[in-house]
C-alpha cells in the first residue's frame, strides 16, 4: 500500500527522526519526502509504502496518531488510491 503522510507543527529538534523511526517500527518505507520551514512552523509531506499483509492501514494510522499526541504535531495519513481516484475525475 502507498499513503501520503503530512506532518505540521512548531519546529522542534528531531521531528524527521521521530517520524522516520515510528514508520520504520511500523515497517513503512519512505519512498519520497519533502520538508520546509514556514515562519517557524515545520511542514513535511512524504510518501510511505508497505505490505498490507504485514501491517494494516489502521495500525499505521494509529501509530502516527499516537506519535502526534506525544509530540504535539498534526500528523495525517491518506491512502494514495484516493489521490489516484481524484485524478481520474
For the domain that residue 31 is a member of, what is the CATH number? 3.30.70.260
Structural domain including 54 reads 2-87
Decide: helix, strand or coil at residue 82: helix
pLDDT tens for the chain, 89 residues long, are 999 999 999 999 999 999 999 999 999 999 999 999 999 899 999 999 999 999 999 999 999 999 999 999 999 999 987 766 666 76
CA angle at 53 for the pair 35 and 68, rounded to the nearest 5°:
35
Note if the pTM is more than 0.85.
yes
**Domains of the chain: total:** 1
Decide: helix, strand or coil at residue 27: coil
pLDDT at 82 (0 to 100): 72
pLDDT at 80 (0 to 100): 84
Amino acid at each position: 500500500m502507498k499513503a501520503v503522510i503530512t506532518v505540521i507543527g512548531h519546529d522542534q529538534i528531531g521531528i524527521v527522526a521521530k517520524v522516520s523511526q515510528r514508520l520504520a517500527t511500523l515497517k513503512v518505507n519512505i519512498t519520497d519526502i519533502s520538508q520546509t520551514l514556514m515562519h517557524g512552523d515545520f511542514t513535511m509531506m512524504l510518501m510511505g509504502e508497505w505490505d498490507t499483509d504485514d501491517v494494516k492501514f489502521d495500525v499505521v494510522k494509529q501509530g502516527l496518531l499516537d506519535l502526534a499526541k506525544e509530540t504535539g504535531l498534526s500528523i495525517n495519513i491518506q491512502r494514495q488510491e484516493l489521490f489516484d481516484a481524484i485524478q481520474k475525475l
